[in-house]
Amino acid sequence: MCVMPLPNLVMCLTRKFSVKGEMAGAKRLSAVMATGQLFSKQTQALFYNYKQLPIQRMLDFDFLCGRETPSVAGIIHPGSEGFQKLFFGQEEIAIPVHSTIEAACNAHPTADVFVNFASFRSAAASSMAALKQPTIRVVAIIAEGVPELDTKQSITYARANNKVVIGPATVGGIQAGAFKIGDTAGTIDNVIQCKLYRPGSVGFVSKSGGMSNELYNTIARVTDGIYEGIAIGGDVFPGSTLSDHVLRFNNIPQVKMMVVLGELGGRDEYSLVEALKQGKVHKPVVAWVSGTCARLFESEVQFGHAGAKSGGDLESAQAKNQALREAGAVVPTSYEALEAAIKDTFDKLVEEEKITPVKEVKPPQIPEDLKTAIKSGKVRAPTHIISTISDDRGEEPCYAGIPMSTIVEQGYGVGDVISLLWFKRSIPRYCTQFIEICIMLCADHGPCVSGAHNTIVTARAGKDLVSSLVTGLLTIGPRFGGAIDDAARYFKDAYDRGLTPYEFVEGMKKKGIRVPGIGHRIKRGDNRDKRVELLQRFARTHFPSVKYMEYAVQVENYTLSKANNLVLNVDGAIGSLFLDLLAGSGMFSKPEIDEIVEIGYLNGLFVLARSIGLIGHTFDQKRLKQPLYRHPWEDVLYTK
């Protein structure tokens, strides 16, 4: 069925600090008091400020109640659009996300409840924006501590425009078997225990959301459960009052009795007292006002809610309980006796045949979330990714088991971090120094090499940093910087097989393969690459053994006899020296060394190092504001 608009639900604007003023306010309210249900099984809501857990709880409640459509029509998350994946029973659904309240209301015109999970700083503004939407009928403000002036303005607007505000500082409300707001009634286990998946016969209203959960359980134990429950909120100025909802319950045929839980502070309960005295409530009311312990304290005590502070004798729990009792409500002698009072009232109505207890039904089983089921040990699930180099699940990330704080405090360098993330172990300091030297020496080789040229052209085309970097990196291969792995493979194979330089070079020639790591476009035998000399000098000083490097030098001597440009280049130097690092450090087994060379670790050094230079070229071109590059005609041979 369609939810009928709730006409003329008037909100209290201010608290009168005299009983006379409170009574007058109650009379004005009762004259135009609205009747009817707030929610139904077709009610849909817009949820403001995405919170996964309360939304999922609403959807799980929907499934439990046998709703055909989810109660959350859309989500409003400022600055975001798209969809959020959630579960409706076993089915995964996509709920639309809108960036503005206006857009959400236009997209979902049948959603008439606005569930506001904004912080107290922005709750008032977003609530007012929702109230101004013609499709919104009920606004629930969850935040506590909303500025009182803002709250009064929202209530004034709601009253003038025939709308309902629940809260602020509320957990919300629930119609059993139909609809619930956010976290109302807590977990699904509690919902089931409180029999909230089907309607009962009791209307319940409270200031406290936490105590609402407690009373739902109490009521379920001694009656057939609640029909509707509302927590009006604990702030000083709630959008609706206890008496508002009692009078509304009084006009709902399915509600046969009411339970009211008030608290010390304010005069709200006296409007209910007045309604009872005037005979406006025709159904039994069981009531209790919490806070009777306040008189044990010598000074005024502020309890949990902003409104839970006794400002005088009339605002004390004892005075309110006595007034309610005298007005005709069933008021026990203590909170402990409240359950018995509810039971006696319900049983009497059953005896008088005014209540036919609701027949119990078995709710459907809510599928358990995979994460919860795994945690409880109920299921096993395969993982999708394996990671052995880092772990971010603890208090701080770890690289190969080493906490980040240790890396910083013990002065680890870039080479040490590479050793942890690439080799999963800490290697000797001379090894990490060698890695760092390789990075420094290979960071850049001027603007004319192919990688830098590509990056410069891309940067001058107005592309971003990542695009410019990638175009340069994509040129790395057998002809540019990518020969380190191949040099290591071939030098290692030849040395391990005992080939002479002659046998190695001539054998490669017969196969039609250039010797990786040998040859340079600029450097010659009489003009060696300074980078190669620096690497060799460091290795001879610090490495326990340089057998692979010495073999590469012997190969270079042979190739120089053929051509003066067939020198050992930086790829060959790094490739051969890295073999010496792996073999001489004693940290790697032979199978591990073979795997490192085969996977392509060594080219990783060049990629990492050259990224520094390519990023530099990108920044350089953008800083210089260079225009789009066009290659000059005179540098192109046009031919048929």
CA distances 189 to 22, 64, 359, 364, Å, are 41, 11, 20, 12
Distance, CA of 350 to CA of 223 (rounded, Å): 10
DSSP string for 57-100: HHHHHHHHHT-SS-SEEEEE-TT--EEEEEEETTEEEEEEEESS
Q: Which of 77, 98, 305, 617 is catalytic?
A: 305
453 included as an active-site residue? no
The CA-based dihedral angle spanning residues 24, 27, 28, 29, taken in that order and rounded to the nearest 10 degrees: 120
Instruction: Say if CB 9 and CB 164 are below 8 A apart.
Output: yes
On the question of a cis peptide bond just before residue 78, with omega within 30 degrees of 0, the verdict is: no
Taken in order 145, 147, 153, 157, is the CA torsion positive or negative? Answer: negative
CA of residue 54 relative to chain centroid, distance: 13
CA distances 592 to 169, 567, 588, Å, are 62, 30, 6
3 state SS of 507: helix
Q: In what order do the strands lie in the sheet with 113-116?
A: 82-88, 91-98, 72-76, 45-48, 113-116, 138-141, 164-166
Helices (H), 231-337: 242-250, 268-277, 317-327
CA distances 370 to 92, 183, 289, 367, Å, are 13, 21, 43, 9
SS3 for 314-349, per residue?
A: HHCHHHHHHHHHHHCCECCCCHHHHHHHHHHHHHHH
Instruction: Say if CB 287 and CB 329 are below 8 A apart.
Output: yes
Question: Cα–Cα–Cα angle for 245, 175, 127, nearest 5°?
Answer: 70
Phi-psi map region of 446: left, alpha, beta (phi>0 left; psi -120 to 50 alpha): left
Catalytic residues: 305
